[in-house]
Structure 1
Amino acid sequence: MDYSHTAPNIFQVIMSVIQDYGIQNRIMSITLDNASANSKAIEYFINSNIPDIAGKFFHARCACHIINLIVKSGLKKVESQIANIREVLGWIMASNQRIAEFARFCKSNNLKPPKFQTDMPVRWNSTYLMLKSALPYALENTSFYNLNTANDTQHEKLTESDWYVAKVFVDFLTVFYDAAVELSGVYYPTSLFSLHKLYDIAYLLKQYREIELVVPVVVAMQEKYIKYWGKIHLLYAFGIVVDPRFRFKALKVFSTTLSEALGLSETDVTEHFGTLKSQIFEIFSIYENRYRHNNDTARPTPPQQQSKLMRIFLNKTTTSRASGSSSQSQSQSQHMELNKYLSTEYSITDNDDFTINDLLKWWQNKRNRFPILSRLACDVLVIPVSTVS
């Protein structure tokens, strides 16, 4: 857009593309970051009756943008130490002469000359990569910089304390970085991983609450986390329910485990779980009415891996797996296909043509048994949880 990014302008630009392709009645979801203008633009779409399936998944908030907001809120608390390292690296990389001198200095210490990452403060992942690239050369950076600026009072000297903070935060931010990389994928369904990654972050915050250095950081991050993810997004919940290893029983375990990690109210979590469950049945009803006599097919794509949250679920269900998810509040005359899927016990292992790395393929292969549910699963699983590639 070459003009102001206001809500009406964003709406008009996206709407013009939708109209050009004639897909007004086929828009299930739009993934946008959390700018207020974007959220307002979504209201224009809803008022124009664009959303499909009652707008249930219509606004997918960019998960990577939320991670960015969470991390930036914490990094503000240690900005001075990070700024010292940023200044040193910037000073070294500012001239070819210093780069060459530093390379000779490293070689004299039997080290391969590095090429440091430089960061952009508004993008936390670039700060993480900057610190990570500098840490192996902490001693060399400190010696070279302090020696060459010894008589320059304008430059603050680098200390061991600065590098200690950097080390702690590189370890701390690795979980956020890995989550952002996985959730920004474009060649596989990302909603499958969302709840697993959310738990990894929540569990990390819980662990680091015991470390005095990062308590202010954790407090700020957790506040931002709860603002956006205190309640599980419907799209993330759906990614768990349509995984035959998990379904509603796992969603309940995941909801409880997340609430424990974040210190949330058990009552609120139970109520929200009930809301998610009823919404998923409601969405299936829409598909049931629309495609009852239509056995259309869907398409495949990859990957998935075991996570902390997955292991917790497997441990908790080892002794009670047989109970499954068969007890549904809906009558058996309704949602028969969905109830059949929920009440059938699937092996956790790679059999029955299910592969961990390709859930879309699993659903495609089940389209004869679950013609409506397989279509819903494949339609929703392709919704990206991030705008970042």
Structure 2
Amino acid sequence: MDVRHNHNSDVFCVRACYHDDAADLVAIGGAHSVEVLLTTPTSSQVIANFHLGTRITTLAWSPGSTSPSITDDWSIELTCAGADFGLYLLSKSSASAEDVFAFGGGLSGHHGKVSDMAFCGGQSEDSTRYVATVSDDKMLMVWDLSPSVDVVPPPSPGRERSSASSTAPRAQPTAYVIRFPHPLTTVASHPSTSKEFLVADCRGSVFLIDWRADPDENPQDSWRNSSIVELVEPRALADAATGLSNKWSAAVAWSRGSPDIIGAVYGSRFALWDLLHLRGGKPHVTGTTFPEGGNQFRWCPTYPEYFAISANAPGRGAVIHVHNTGYVHAQPTVFSVGPRPLFVRDFDFLAARGIPRIAAAVGRELVIFYIGVDS
């Protein structure tokens, strides 16, 4: 049975919480707000609503979140980015109402669309302290949400800073910046490491970055100093070099089941890499997906042999293909979520145990459905 939730505006991004204490929570970003849903196998309930006044472009869950279904002393924390290039830290708990903390605006942040964000991996306190963002402006920024030195933004023109505002309740986050040669589309972390991020650009390159490495003397090439491994999708690189990739998007994901497995969709092809067998950075498996191009690539967190890809255009309606790595060249299982002209803007696997479920943004609705049945 599908669970459907109407957001009352178009839904642009979806993120399920993968952490054990909040595996039944899903966040959706719309035209002006973020909603957090508590899900069950047959229903969904809004437990938080953050009004931001700007279209949401991406979301990320903090590992410190806990669900009301786990404890009465619950709390949720996540970050999001808006179409105004601003960043926001969103929080709510059983003892406090919704709180929106803006950061990264103006000269201190991105100057292009923020494409993706991810909290630091690992199991230490750093996993809730640092969040990485990537943008069309070719920059990876790793933000310290709890800096030891407060950076107070300048007052607005024509307005004096009051004594009350000079003592901010929370220090402004600071950012460590790594510049890349091309616009960036994806950043991901892994629960097995706190010092590495996976970063992908729009031209077919994927970088495993040690963001804690010492900065390069040449700040324009800081990505070279931090890069541990560079992977490539040769067809995407060739298309980019000849100008054929303008209409394609790129999405990359890091398998939670293994830190050595990475998947991506570039245009009408998907690729899988195994870091134990680099092959010069080329993928060990490639295959074809939607002829019009894939839009999003996701690994299933509970059954790591499954990955899914959504279409990049409404020509086929709202459709998601689910693949099994054990039979990677077999025909995928096709799930049609809505008719034309609807399409899947974003989707994610839920992390709750049992039969895997997908949450898909289709028009103004979030549609949650199973990808299998009880045997």
Please give the range of the TM-score, normalised by the shorter of the 2 chains: under 0.3
Structure (1/2) with the larger helix percentage: 1
Structure (1/2) with the larger strand percentage: 2
Q: Greater relative contact order (Cα 8 A, min sep 6): structure 1 or 2?
A: 1
Q: Which has the greater radius of gyration?
A: 1
